[in-house]
Structure formats: structure tokens, C-alpha cells
């Protein structure tokens, strides 16, 4: 471990492969300890509706509400409070996010797998989706754009948004402004577990949705997991946000330090990992982190995140990429000289940022890619939010008499082999009918 100034960073040099699993472990988030509280709140919301949600808003967010819905007057007020410059930035980001996600539209293709047997898929939008936008230490108005923009492009009929109000009973104006830019239908003042319950079960005010999207603290994550067991789909499992920076001898330590800090300021449980082939870079990065950290308003949060950061020195780029794919980071920044070649070998990551001039913050806000991504190693199996996240794929098939003759005997044999005689018979009666018609 190396210590500079007031902040500690863990340096690991040339770890053996048998040490990697231990090295790459995330801090365990045990939601079992939260389950009793989460289940109680969810049950209360399920039975008590708006009244229960408002009671929990008073208890957890320290605000007394007369109604949950955001009014048109509040939306107009938010428009007046947000600066023209920020509105322009929101529109630019929305436009880029829209272009990128529109390019993901699914094209239906009919396939004749055998003469007379035609199959195809159709992408159908989820009719009603719920978006959760955290409040807390940072109003994530960018997440409104990331979740609502593809929902709108997908054709979701109703987009419901829940976000906690401040103690004045109002939602942050930039969140409301972003919601209007992105085309959100209905907005409600509700945070935490009570918001997830409201969207999962429905209340007098909040409609029940079919799928819930969005990040949140450990209580929100536990609530999403709980309601997904029986009541509603969710976007993905998620935990604290994380970044890995992959660097070599030519990497700019100022850029690398800035990237590590941009992740560390998210929250005290944020994950920060540097993997480098150059031992000399580590000291330079530590010095830069110390210098840049001193000027950050969220210095204390970043310091706590950096305390469990890891700066790992490996032997070569082959080892660096093997370690990276084992870690499966949510965000991966490749700041190496041969970044395009390295990128080709990445198989496990949520979103990848290439070259010295592509910080994670570009994707977090305005490049167009989505910032709602799998964490905690789930990038081995999950994608980030994309246009498909808001669709269901329905399959269709059509058989003509020629098609029945082409696959009917195989269906009969397979059904008989599974001892499902009614399945076999459904095909047999058609084959016999065709034979009769041909006589």
C-alpha cells in the first residue's frame, strides 16, 4: 500500500494469476440485512397506496407532501429556473443519445426455413415503463435522458418517472427540464423503496408499470430485486459504480488521475481500478490524484472511494487484458498507445472509452451511448440499457400445407418420443387432412 498526503491508494505489483480473483473482489453488498426493512416498506405501499408513499416520504426524505404528482405549473417553473446554457447542453445530449439509440432499431426479416414454413420476429415496445432517478448527493438529470430517450424511440406508450423531492417539496428543476426534453409522460415525487413499490404495484396516483429502470442506493437495488421476483421486470442487477483505466508508459498521468477521480466522486462505495504495464506511471498518477483531489468540492467522498482503490502493475498487455476481462468493469477506459488493438480483445465490459481524449464523462453525459450499465461483474452476462431493453420480441410462424408435409413427420416423431401424444396428434390430423384433400 502506498500513501500520499491524506489519501491512500492500494498498489499491487505483478500479482500471480492465482491471486487475481481475490484481488478483483468487489466489497460485498449484503442485501439480506436490508430485506426486512425493504419488504415492510413494499408491503405497506402495496396495501396503503399513496398514503403509505407519502408517510415514507415524511420519514425518509423529511418532506410532507399533499400530492405525489408533479404539476404542469411546477414543470413551467423548472423551465424558468434552469439556465439557457444548461438547457442547450440537455438538448445536445438528448440529440446524440437519440441518434445513437435510433440506429439500434430492429428490422423484421421473414425466414423460410423449409418450403412452406415461414418464421419471423417483431419488436413490440413495452407499453408502460417506470424510471427511477435518484436525488441524494447529486441530482442525476443525465439519467433522465439516458432512460427516457430510448423509451420514447422504442414507442413506449407511457413513461412514468419517480424521483425524491427536496425538503421544500419540489423536484430539482434540471430533472424536470430533462424530463420535458425527453418526453416523459408523468412524474411523481417519491424516492427510495417506496418509489419502487409504487411503480411495481400501482397506487391511486402512480400507475403500475411493466418494467423498472434506473440506479439507486442499496435499498433501491434490494427493492428492485424483490419486486422482480413476482411483480415486474427490471433492467439489470446493479451495485456501486466502477471504472477501470488501462494504461501504459505513454499514458498521460494527468488524464489517468482525472478519470480515476471522476469515478471516485460518485460515492464512497465507488470502485476505482488502474491496470498498467508501466510501474513508473503509478507514482506519477498518485501525485496527480493528490493534486487534483485537493480542488474537488466532493473531496471527502472521493477520498473514501480511493481508500479501497487498486493500482495494479502487470507484466505486459496480454496480462492486462486477461485481468480486465476477468474483472468485467462497468466502465473501461483504454488510454494505451495501441488502444484500438486492445479494444478488439475486450470481451467483458459495460462501456469502453478509447484513447486519451475519451473520458468516461463523455459517455456519462453527451456522446450518445447509454450510461446505465451492468456493475459488479455482471458485464459478463448483461448489456447496458439500449433500445432492445424497451422492447419485447414476439415470434411468428406460418405453415402452409407444403410446410406441414415438410416438418410434420419430424414433429410427430419428436412428440411421440417425449410421450406427448396430444402434441403429436395436433400435427397428425393436419397431415391426414392434407392427404384426404389430395385424393
Residue 241 annotated as part of some ligand binding site: yes
Residue whose C-alpha is closest to residue 274's, from 264, 266, 265: 264
CA distance 48 to 252: 56
- 318: how many CB neighbours lie within 10 A of its CB? 11
Residue 331 annotated as part of some ligand binding site: yes
Let me know if 331 is a catalytic residue.
yes
Residue 263 annotated as part of some ligand binding site: yes
Residue 364 annotated as part of some ligand binding site: yes
Q: What is the 3-state secondary structure (H, E, C) of the chain?
A: CEEECCEEEEEEECCCHHHHHHHCCCCCCCCHHHHHHHHHHHHHHHHHHHHHHHHHHHHHCCCCCCCCECCHHHHHHHHHHCCHHHHHHHHHHHHHHHHHHHCCCCCCCCEEEECCEEEEEEEEECCEEEEECCCCCCCCHHHHHHHHHHHHHHCCCEEEEEECCCCCCCCCHHHHHHHHHHCCCEEEECCHHHHHHHHHHCCCCCCCCCEEECCCCHHHHHHHHHHHCCCCEECCCCCCCEEEEEECCCCCHHHHHHHHHHHHCCCCCCEEEEEECCHHHHHHHHHHHHHHHCCCCCHHHHHHHHHCCEEEECCCHHHHHHHHHHHCCCEEEEECCCHHHHHHCCCCCCEEEECCCCCHHHHHHCCCCCCCCCCCCHHHCCCCCCHHHHEEEEEEEEECHHHHHHHHHHHHHHHHHCCCHHHHHHHHHHHHHHHHHHC
Residue 418 annotated as part of some ligand binding site: yes
Burial level of 154, CB count in 10 A (0-12/13-18/19+)?
buried
Residue 158 annotated as part of some ligand binding site: no
Of 303, 330, 335, 360, the active-site residue reads 330
Cβ atoms 199, 132 nearer than 8 A:
yes
User: At what angle are helices 141-154 and 84-102 packed, to 10 degrees?
Assistant: 40
Let me know if 172 is a catalytic residue.
no
Of 94, 101, 331, 371, the active-site residue reads 331
CA distance 301 to 296: 10
Known binding-site residue numbers: 132, 194, 217, 241, 263, 266, 331, 364, 418, 423
Known binding-site residue numbers for substrate: 241, 263, 266, 331, 364, 418, 423
Known binding-site residue numbers for NAD(+): 132, 194, 217
Known binding-site residue numbers for Zn(2+): 263, 266, 364, 423
Catalytic residues: 330-331
Amino acid at each position: 500500500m502506498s500513501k500520499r498526503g491524506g489519501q491512500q491508494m492500494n498498489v499491487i505489483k505483478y500479482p500471480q494469476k492465482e491471486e487475481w480473483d481475490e484481488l478483483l473482489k468487489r466489497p460485498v453488498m449484503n442485501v439480506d440485512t436490508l430485506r426486512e426493512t425493504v419488504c415492510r416498506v413494499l408491503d405497506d405501499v402495496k396495501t396503503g397506496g399513496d398514503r403509505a408513499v407519502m408517510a415514507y416520504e415524511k420519514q425518509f426524505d423529511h418532506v410532507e407532501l399533499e400530492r405525489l404528482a408533479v404539476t404542469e405549473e411546477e414543470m413551467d417553473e423548472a423551465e424558468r429556473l434552469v439556465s439557457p446554457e444548461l438547457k442547450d447542453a440537455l438538448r445536445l445530449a438528448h440529440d446524440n443519445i437519440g441518434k445513437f439509440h435510433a440506429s439500434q432499431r430492429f428490422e423484421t426479416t421473414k425466414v423460410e426455413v423449409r418450403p412452406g414454413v415461414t418464421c419471423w420476429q417483431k419488436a413490440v415496445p413495452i407499453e408502460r415503463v417506470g424510471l427511477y432517478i435518484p436525488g441524494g448527493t447529486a441530482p442525476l438529470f443525465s439519467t433522465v435522458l439516458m432512460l427516457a430517450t430510448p423509451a420514447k424511440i422504442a414507442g413506449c406508450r407511457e413513461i412514468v418517472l419517480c424521483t425524491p423531492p427536496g425538503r421544500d417539496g419540489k423536484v430539482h428543476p434540471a430533472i424536470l427540464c430533462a424530463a420535458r426534453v425527453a418526453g416523459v409522460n408523468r412524474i411523481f415525487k417519491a424516492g427510495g423503496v417506496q418509489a419502487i413499490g409504487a411503480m411495481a404495484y400501482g397506487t391511486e396516483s402512480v400507475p403500475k408499470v411493466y418494467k423498472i429502470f434506473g440506479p439507486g442506493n442499496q435499498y433501491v437495488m434490494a427493492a428492485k430485486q424483490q419486486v422482480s421476483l413476482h411483480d415486474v421486470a427490471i433492467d439489470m442487477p446493479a451495485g456501486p459504480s466502477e471504472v477501470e483505466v488501462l494504461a501504459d508508459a505513454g499514458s498521460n498521468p494527468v488524464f489517468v488521475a482525472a478519470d480515476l477521480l471522476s469515478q471516485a466522486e460518485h460515492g464512497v462505495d465507488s470502485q476505482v481500478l488502474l491496470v498498467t504495464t508501466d510501474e513508473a506511471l503509478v507514482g506519477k498518477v498518485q501525485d496527480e490524484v493528490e493534486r487534483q483531489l485537493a480542488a474537488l468540492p466532493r473531496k471527502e467522498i472521493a477520498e473514501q472511494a480511493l481508500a479501497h482503490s487498486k493500482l495494479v502493475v502487470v507484466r505486459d498487455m496480454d496480462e492486462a487484458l486477461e485481468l480486465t476481462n476477468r474483472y468485467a468493469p462497468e466502465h473501461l477506459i483504454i488510454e494505451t498507445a495501441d488502444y484500438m488493438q486492445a479494444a478488439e480483445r475486450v470481451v467483458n465490459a459495460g462501456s469502453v472509452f478509447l484513447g486519451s481524449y475519451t473520458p468516461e464523462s463523455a459517455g456519462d453525459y453527451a456522446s450518445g451511448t447509454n450510461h446505465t450499465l451492468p456493475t459488479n461483474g455482471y458485464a459478463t452476462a448483461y448489456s447496458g440499457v439500449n433500445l432492445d431493453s424497451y422492447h419485447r420480441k414476439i415470434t411468428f410462424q406460418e405453415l402452409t400445407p407444403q410446410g406441414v408435409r415438410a416438418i410434420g413427420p419430424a414433429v410427430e416423431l419428436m412428440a411421440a418420443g417425449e410421450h406427448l401424444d396430444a402434441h403429436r396428434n395436433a400435427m397428425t390430423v393436419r397431415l391426414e387432412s392434407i392427404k384426404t384433400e389430395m385424393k
